Structure 1
């Protein structure tokens, strides 16, 4: 089994950490969708990270779909989502916000690093930045309301995805999202980033 993609992608990283916690043995192949486009395309013509090649050659893509597959296979002690419907909805709310924050951080990064400076679209950047800040404001509020929920042991998918998203945002656009303004998210990320599974797959 091979996980294809760079760990500087929050989507690739959340899958790598989660597979580690599920107890799944896999090989990580660090291919960039930019620098290694042709090599990546030979594995998955869509060139979408993460891509996961199962042992039978089936290629799965999109972090949420990949993790849904392994969550369904996991024994109860290894599951990363609650089985209770109310608790699951609460965690899915957190995950949705964290994934939205990841998406907006990626868009801001691409806008500044892939688009020529003279073609930057300020109204678009302002809109995306507002969405990013709104996602973290809601996340911070949820964590403030549930101070005993996070972090848990073992880690939950909500905690993994939140920490991965926050670390990625601080990695690519810390000047947009001031850590001091989202103290609850920062506190959670600091604790979760110290977990062995997170340390094994750092942003790089």
Structure 2
């Protein structure tokens, strides 16, 4: 398999970390959606990452779709590990909710970054809206993480939600630096540090470089 996208993307990184934890072998193409858009378009007309090319030539796009496919392979016995999300029930719904918050946060971080670096004239309304959304979702995630009386959000075992949150926090910290006052969210800082100590997170990382034109 071939995974396309830079590891400074929280979406690419969360897929690569899950693949590593699952034990799937893959090649990595660190292509930028800006500088390498034409290369990506040969496999994904949206020119978005992550894009995963399977061994039989099929192409999977978008992190949620890719992870769903990977989870199915694990349930079918192609990996000797437990899936990072329950097959059904309340636990699955909770993982999906936490993940949606984390990836929604990451989306807003990306949007705010692009507004600042790609537009010479910034929209104060758009900036304020993004900043308000970021603070609100961080408050919600902080509350959820602080309430978890276990190593991870849903207990002793890591889920896709933990990975998504860890990747989103690292990306936000590096993309915006001191613009976000992380002292407001100590539980999230703890979660981020705990993730980054894991071998899979150490193996799948790169310094943030932003759009490469």
TM-score w.r.t. length of structure 2: 0.89
Shift of 1:42: 2.5
Shift of 1:35: 1.2
What pairs up with 1:151-166 in 2 under 5 angstroms? 154-166=157-169
Q: 2:55 maps to what in 1? A: 55
Q: 1:11 maps to what in 2? A: 11
Match of 1:143 among 142, 145, 153: 145
Q: 1:114 maps to what in 2? A: 118
Q: 1:202 aligned to 2:205?
A: yes
* Unaligned residue ranges in structure 1 (runs of 5+): none
Distance 2:137 2:179 in 1: 13
Distance 1:113 1:71 in 2: 36
Q: Residue 33 of structure 1 contacts residue 40 of structure 1 at CA under 8 Å; is this kept in 2?
A: yes
Q: 1:97 aligned to 2:101?
A: yes
Deviates more, 1:28-37 or 1:75-84: 75-84
* Unaligned residue ranges in structure 2 (runs of 5+): 208-213
Q: 1:189 maps to what in 2? A: 192
Q: 2:34 maps to what in 1? A: 34
SS at match of 2:132: helix
Change (3 A) 1:101 1:198: same
TM-score w.r.t. length of structure 1: 0.93
Runs of 4+ in 1 over 3 A off after TM superposition: 151-154
Distance 2:89 2:97 in 1: 12
